[in-house]
Structure 1
Amino acid sequence: MSYKAVLFDLDGTLLDTIKDISQSMNYAMQKNGLPVYAIEEYKYLVGEGVYNLAKKALPEHLQNEETINCIVAQMKEHYEKHWADNTVLYEGIPELLNYLTSKGYKLSILSNKPHSFTQKIADKLLDKWQFDVIFGERKPIPIKPDPASALEIASIMGVNPQDFLYLGDTSVDMYTANNAGMYAVGVTWGFRKKDELLKSGAKLIINHPMKLSQIC
Structure 2
Amino acid sequence: MIKGVIFDLDGTLANSIEDIADSMNIVLTEKGFPTHDYDTYKTFVGNGLKSLVENSLPNSANNETTLEACFKRMMSVYDDNCIVKTCLYPGIAELLTELQKRDIKIGVFSNKANELTQKVAKVLLADWPIEMVIGAGGDIPKKPNPKGAILISTKMRISPEELIYVGDSGIDMQTAENSGMYAAGVLWGFRDMEELLENGANVLVENPMDLLESFN
Q: Pairwise mapping of residues 192-211 of structure 1 onto structure 2 (< 5 A)?
A: 192-211=191-210
Deviation track 1:165-214 (CA, whole Å, cap 9, x = no partner) reads 01100111001111111000000001011111011110000110000111
| Secondary structure of 2:127 counterpart | coil
The gaps in structure 2 that reach 5 residues or longer are: none
* Displacement of 1:141: 2.8
State the shift of 1:60 in Å.
2.9
Partner of residue 132, structure 1: 131
Q: Distance in 1 between matches of 2:63 and 2:162?
A: 42
Q: Distance in 1 between matches of 2:29 and 2:160?
A: 43
RMSD (Å) for aligned C-alpha atoms: 1.0
The Cα shift of 1:61 comes to: 3.9
Question: Which residue of the partner structure matches residue 5 of structure 2?
Answer: 6
2:75 aligns with 76
Count matched residues. Answer: 215
CA, structure 1 residues 75+142, in 2 after alignment: closer, same or farther (shift >3 Å)?
Answer: same
Instruction: Give unmatched runs, 5+ long, in structure 1.
Output: none
Q: Which residue of 2 aligns with 1:29?
A: 28
Percent identity of the aligned residues?
40
Partner of 1:215: 214
How many Å separate the matches in 2 of 1:8 and 1:76?
A: 23
Q: Which moved more, 1:93-102 or 1:69-78?
A: 69-78
Per mean C-alpha deviation after superposition, the further-off stretch among 54-63 and 133-142 is 54-63
The amino acid of 1:162's aligned partner reads E
- Alignment-mate amino acid for residue 170 of structure 1: S
Alpha-carbon distance, 1:140 to partner = 4.1
User: Distance in 2 between the 1:56 and 1:40 partners?
Assistant: 14
Deviates more, 1:105-114 or 1:135-144: 135-144
Question: What's the counterpart of residue 162 of structure 1?
Answer: 161
Amino acid at match of 1:146: N
Match of 2:184 in 1: 185
Post-superposition shift, 1:93?
Answer: 0.3
Give the SS at the match of 1:55: helix
TM-score using structure 2 length: 0.96
Task: Report the Cα distance in structure 2 between the residues aligned to 1:42 and 1:172, rounded to whole angstroms.
Answer: 16
1:41-52 map, 5 Å = 41-52=40-51
For residues 84-163 of structure 1, what are the structure 2 equivalents within 5 Å?
Answer: 84-163=83-162
**2:124 and 2:22 mapped to 1: Cα distance?**
20
TM-score using structure 1 length: 0.96
Q: Report Cα offsets for 1:107-133 as digits up to 9, x if no partner.
A: 000001111111111111110001111
Report SS of the residue matched to 1:215: helix
